[in-house]
Amino acid sequence: MKGVFPLYIATEAQMRAIEARCADTGSMTYDDLMKCAGQALVSSVVAALQGISAPHIVILCGKGNNGGDGFACGTMLLERGYRVTLFSLGMSSAAGGLARPLETCFDDFSIAVKSCDLIVDAIYGIGLCDRLPDALFSVAAEAVNAASCPVIAADIPSGLLCDSGRSIGAFIKASETVTFTLRKPVHVLARSKDFCGRVICCDIGIPPACIGELSVSYYTDADFAEALPPRRQDTHKGHYGKLLIVAGSVGYAGAACLAARAAMRVGAGLVTLLVPNEIYSIVASKMDEVTVFPLASVDGKVSLDTLPFVLEKASVHTKLLLGCGLGQSEGVSVFVRAVLEAVTLPVLLDADGINALSGEACFLQKVACPLILTPHPLELRRLLSYEAESSPEGILLAAKELNCILVFKGHRTITALPSGQVFINSCGNAGMAKAGSGDVLAGVISGLCVQGIPLEKAVPAGVYLHAAAGDAAAEKLGQYAMLPSDMIDTFPAILRGFDL
């Protein structure tokens, strides 16, 4: 469908600009857009009511463009002979008097939603922004959510914010959301996607020329296939990069092992693992394909005394993974800062490597090496000394402030490039929420980066592969029983299709 871009995601500001360009160029008026949106809603309503005799539909409309979509839907359904009751919120009269003001007819509304066959929510759409919903809306949303029938939301379930998926009060929970031209962040972010139900992206006729440049996209298997090049036969290990990993401490030998195994499993040519000498024998006994060396340490954690040895190793490697299981101490913090000040090769900073710089975001702006950071929300908050908005725009602002490629870990992990491109990952599951999953992710990303794939492609590809492996492990073992090491074991089946 030429007017739908299902893998791209539009923010509230971008969608408003697209609609304005459409109107300014004469391609379509706002009335035209509402009629087409109304028709898209009608199609979903009719499909949902198949097999129901003489269905009753309740449509709840706001006073903005989203309400106009609902009025258009209601009018078309009435013309088709359906029994439709329209209620308006914030308008004394609308749709030629067909819509009844909720303010004066709330009792009738309450009765209608309890007995109807389907509800259409067309109250706020992207228009809520950061203002509090109407007080009457909260009571209406409670009634809608208590109804036993399907709820179809026009564009966005009312009460949810377009860009962050947050609610700042009551919100409606939809069983299906009909969105127009482009998905919005609210449809795919972890905190809100379940409240959108099934999301259908419909063409309402906006020409591609009016879309403009989009910076946020939904990362899928098609993107991964494009990012991962096939391996040529006339190659040796040097063609696939040399990855140096500095990781582990007493009690966290597994973090180093998981990261190294993951990097090898995704195709890195050579992996060298440096660990504190207290855990060297444990790690070395578990690693067959990885070269392992001991580091000078203090209290089971890496020591600054070992910096010359680490820098010597870094000089003959192409990428560095720093942080998995390093532990937290002043000595570790000094060591991490010293490494970052001295190296120029790309560095993936994970876990305790990030914690080592808590409150020192400004430090990262001064380092010369290209940086990839993979924090979970708490680690990012410690680093920035404030809570970044967990939306595409919020994570992009953080990436620019930190001068890095930022991988914000979560159920729908967000990857932001300083250039402005943002990817929201499309897979993953709750079985991955276990200690060690982050170490596997760090190993996967660094293992792909070291092979010469450009960082802007390798990083989101690593995020996708990690989550796809989580889904494969869950399918085989279940979300309760699966382990991070099980995810590594699924990589061969996933990657086999990319062999020559």
pLDDT in tens, 110-143: 999 999 999 999 999 998 866 667 789 999 999 9
Q: Which of 57-71, 95-109, 426-440 is predicted least confidently? A: 95-109
pLDDT at residue 4, rounded to an integer = 47
Cα distance between residue 467 and residue 484, in whole Å: 11
Q: In a 3-state reduction of DSSP, which class is residue 403?
A: coil
- pLDDT, residue 336, reads 98
Each as own residue / partner, the long-range contacts of residues 393-401 (CB below 8 Å, 24 or more positions apart, any chain) are 393/11, 393/163, 393/422, 394/164, 395/422, 396/215, 396/420, 396/422, 401/361, 401/365
- Span 181-208, average pLDDT: 93
Look up residue 220 and give its two tokens: 């899928």
Alpha-carbon distance 229 to 451, whole Å? 10
Task: Provide DSSP, 186-236.
Answer: HHHSTTTHHHH-EEEEE-----GGGT----EEEE-HHHHHHHSPPPPSS--
Q: How many CA atoms lie within 13 A of 349 on its CB side?
A: 32
Residue 5 has pLDDT above 60, yes or no: no
Alpha-carbon dihedral sign for residues 54, 60, 63, 66: negative
Q: Is residue 290 very low, low, confident or very high in pLDDT (cuts 50, 70, 90)?
A: very high
Residue 169 contacts by C-beta under 8 Å, 6 or more apart in sequence? 132, 133, 137, 138, 159
Task: Return the biggest CA–CA distance within the chain.
Answer: 82
CA distance 71 to 110: 20
Beta-carbon-side half-sphere exposure of residue 143 (alpha carbons within 13 Å): 21
CA 214 to centroid of chain Cα atoms: 16
**Contact of 247 with 446, CB cutoff 8 Å:** no
What confidence score (pLDDT) does residue 191 get? 87
pTM, rounded to two decimals:
0.89
Q: Do domains 8-214 and 221-498 have the same CATH topology?
A: no
Class of domain 221-498: alpha beta
Beta strand 297-298 with 118-122: parallel, antiparallel or unpaired?
unpaired
Confidence class of residue 90 from pLDDT cuts 50, 70 and 90?
confident
List all residues 6 or more positions away from 206 whose beta carbon is below 8 Å from its beta carbon: 3, 18, 19, 22, 27, 28, 33, 181
The answer to whether the CB of 192 falls within 8 A of the CB of 212 is no
Instruction: For residues 227-246, give the mean pLDDT.
Output: 93
For 428-479, write each residue's pLDDT tens digit: 999 999 999 999 999 999 999 999 999 999 999 999 999 999 999 999 999 9
Residue 210 exposure: Cα atoms within 13 Å on the Cβ side: 24
Percent of the chain with pLDDT over 90: 84
How far apart CA 251 and CA 13 sit, in angstroms, is 48
Instruction: Tell me which of 26 and 40 has the higher pLDDT.
Output: 40
Contacts of 321 (CB under 8 A, 6+ apart): 243, 244, 245, 246, 247, 259, 263, 347, 348, 350, 442, 443, 446
CA dihedral for 307, 310, 315, 320, sign (positive or negative): negative
Classify burial at 126, counting beta carbons within 10 Å of its beta carbon; exposed 0-12, middle 13-18, buried 19 or more.
Answer: buried
Backbone phi, psi, residue 257, to 5° = -65, -45
Give, for 139, the enclosing helix (H) or strand (E). helix 135-146
Residues 6+ apart with CB under 8 A from 106: 136, 139, 140
What's the one-letter identity of residue 138?
A: S
Could you tell me the residue ranges of all domains in the chain?
Answer: 8-214, 221-498
Q: What fold is seen in the domain 8-214?
A: Rossmann fold (3.40.50)
105 phi and psi angles, rounded to 5 deg: -130, 30
